[in-house]
Homo-oligomer: A and B are copies of this chain.
Amino acid sequence: MSALRLLRPTVAAALKPTIPRRYVSAFGYTQAKALIFNDYGAPKDVLKLHRHSISPAYGDEIIIRFLAAPINPADINQIEGVYPSKPAFTITLGTPSPAAVPGNEGVVEVVGVGANVKNFKPGDRAIMKHTAFGTWRTHAVAKDENLLKIPEEYKELNVISAATISVNPCTAYRMLKDFTPLQPGDWFIQNGANSGVGRAAIQLGRIWGLKSINVVRDRPEIEELKEELKGLGADVVVTEEELADRQFRKDLKEFTGGKPPMLGLNCVGGKATTELIRQLGEGGHVVTYGAMARQPVTLSASSLIFRDVHAHGFWVSRWSDKNPEKKKEMVEEIFGLIKKGEFKDVPIEKTVWKNDTKEEELKAAVEKSGQAFGGKKQVFVFEE
């Protein structure tokens, strides 16, 4: 039994000065709120805001307070029940029937630790080590194995960067590194270049000396978007229509010095992906990490056999679960790039989540994020 547990709860609470007083009841319990769902379905139908209390940390428990948590497409799919990684449905939040908390990514501050916790102390910051923890909530009880500590030198980086580092930048990082060896000066091509992963790939590419062809959907403010992505380090930004144009492709071939891209990053599917694959050199690799057009990847036998194209998929959750040590190194490397100002976050839209924020406001943010091909990334930012 932890030493703190032997004290009266009020005394224990007094000894945990980092728990803001307003969340700590007279008996040392933390008042928490969480978005939950009991059944899979459309977020607007199934999400509910649930209030519960968390007892003081005991044994190996770590009480965490969320600082920021983004709304990713995978989170929505998970609520809809169409995502292969399922959240845990549990009654530990005091719901009448088992409920799950959505959200896979987030940054937290440790506000209390049980006596057996060795690696964390109040005030530490961490991101989630694995997916499916449930991050759309103000507080939670975690264990050591759920958290990846942010090193002291990066603790003061803004919470948005920390909250959004695990999924998109890590996906871009692994896809550029793990499928085919690229040397400085080599080209890669990607569609959905305006996405979070796309922007991360542009920047990591620039930092590593790679050159990128970036395909985006046409839109009214296309020139501004092209300039914006070039500002991040994109070498070429083209619309899908431009890429499908024979003359344009010829010009592009000259522009790249006849050195075709050997890696293609795909998050669209269907015709857009066929066009992307057409650009790959012999022996090239296409890596799929999304399907915004909700269409499959189609490969002609001739691309596979004679052009020796290889097709793969990348799922950051699987990778992270298999490579916890490499994930730690990679995250710290990206934190370093952020600190040096070399790596920028995607444009986001904040929804401030305070103690009195209404369910409707939170659900409105979720709805906005569900709009494919548009809008900024939605992020919950928690304020006391």
CB-based contact A298/B301 at 8 Å: no
CB-based contact A304/B318 at 8 Å: no
Report A302-320 residues with CB < 8 Å from chain B CB.
Answer: 302-315, 318
A: number of interface residues (CB 8 Å): 27
- A84–B311 Cα distance when bound, in Å, is 21
Given A296-B298, A297-B298, A298-B298, answer yes or no on A313-B318 (Cβ-Cβ < 8 Å): no
Residues of B within 8 A of A15 (CB): none
CB-based contact B296/A311 at 8 Å: no
CB-based contact A312/B314 at 8 Å: no
Q: Is A299 an interface residue (CB 8 A)?
A: yes
- A301–B312 Cα distance when bound, in Å, is 10
Residues of B within 8 A of A301 (CB): 269, 288, 290-291, 296-297, 313
- A309–B311 Cα distance when bound, in Å, is 8
- A302–B309 Cα distance when bound, in Å, is 19
Residues of B within 8 A of A312 (CB): 304, 308, 310-311
Q: List 27 A-B contacts (CB under 8 A).
A: A84-B302, A84-B306, A269-B301, A288-B301, A288-B304, A288-B305, A289-B305, A291-B301, A291-B302, A296-B298, A296-B301, A297-B298, A297-B299, A297-B300, A297-B301, A297-B304, A298-B298, A298-B299, A299-B299, A299-B311, A305-B314, A305-B315, A307-B313, A308-B312, A308-B315, A309-B313, A311-B312
